[in-house]
Copies of this chain bind each other. A is one copy, B any other.
Amino acid sequence: ALAAPAIAQGSPSINWRLASSFPKSLDTIYGGGEELSTRLKEASDGKFNIQVFAAGEIVPGLDAINAATDGTVESAHSVGYYNWGKDPAFACGADLPFMLSARAKAAFNYQGGGIENYNEFLDQYSLVAYPGGNTGVQMGGWYRKEIKSLEDMKGLKMRIAGLAGRVVEKLGVVPQQVAGGDVYPSLEKGTIDAAEWVGPYDDSKLGFQKVAPYYYYPGFWEGGPTVSFFFNKAKFEELPESYKSLLRTCCQAVDQNMLAKYDSKNPTALKELVGSGAQLRSFSEDILTAAFDAANEVYAELSGENEWFKKQYEAMLQYRDDWYLYAQTAEYSFDTFMMIQQRNGKLAVGGGQ
């Protein structure tokens, strides 16, 4: 009998590596890489494989994007602002202080030209990127002492990075670089006065409430940070069209699903944090207003220095204005009414009846 002839199947086998910027302990954000891999593998019947490496396994977490640029890996799962020092315009595809909520961000990314703008910029770094997750509005961090007004921000040694650090510096904060594992002991010893991390679910793993119990909101520098999948452009272009389409679709499903995971985990985590000693506080109006003005100063500076930053930033402004006008109607009034019912104990089981 004849042996089976070697006939090429329609779809080639692809084996890629993905460098995540995140440790496995941040299971929700790290999990986005694993989820992309699973969805691709399943939908391609095992032909399109991406092996995921946690931060530090191939390259340090903060180098993941660069590893995709230089082809060390085919792909990275990261946040654009980690590359802020290399080029501030990287931050525009992630988040800028006082910009868009997660929901408005999705609309801007997919329907407002956000993805196209970012990829136009990324071309010079041999990258193609698609959104691949969001945390929602982050928290404003943990503070050893209560911060009652702008005056209390002055001289505060705070672990806060990148563009956000440059903004709060204008309020008198002294930004500190502290590696993830050193944040807790630094707060405990008082080497730093405050630290921002992510949101309730991720923060709750680290026990900050024991050493810096004042937990402020909102994290105005991250209203809706987009986590992105970055692909080496040459590798991406080599893919058959069917795989490119599948990859885009899988990225978008992961994008929505990560936010759904955070939104599902954060409410419970926040209750537990408060139960174990976290003192929940909102930033005062004078702090938010001063920070907003400071952010606008930084945007003016960066727009003067960097054409790509200016272009992406300005594309967001009209969108932001339109969204926050619109959202004042049905969305805000519905949410506000529901929150009032919540405060009146009317939403829980048995509460309304």
Contact = CB atoms under 8 A, between A and B. Distances in A.
Contact of A270 (B283, B292, B295, B326): B326
B103 A329 contact: no
Contact of A106 (B263, B293, B330): B263
Interface in A251-295: 252-253, 255-257, 259-261, 263-268, 270-271, 280, 282-283, 288, 292-293, 295
Contacts of A253: 249-250, 252-253, 256
Most interface-central of A4, A314, A330, A332 (chain B CB within 10 A)? A330
A317 B348 contact: yes
Interface residues of A, number: 101
Most interface-central of A106, A260, A341 (chain B CB within 10 A)? A260
Nearest to A323: B267
Contacts of A9: 9-10
A39 B323 contact: no
A327 B335 contact: yes
A330 B138 contact: yes
Interface stretch (A14-22, A55-63, A171-179, A214-222): A214-222
B324 A218 contact: no
Copies of this chain, count:
2
A330 B111 contact: no
B342 A325 contact: yes
A353 interface: yes
A326 B272 CA distance: 12
A114 B122 CA distance: 38
A249 B246 CA distance: 9
Given A218-B329, A263-B106, A338 B111 contact: no
27 contacts: A5-B5, A42-B245, A43-B43, A44-B242, A98-B341, A101-B338, A103-B103, A109-B260, A110-B257, A111-B261, A111-B263, A111-B264, A137-B330, A137-B334, A200-B326, A218-B329, A255-B256, A267-B322, A292-B346, A296-B352, A314-B349, A317-B349, A321-B347, A321-B348, A321-B351, A327-B339, A328-B339
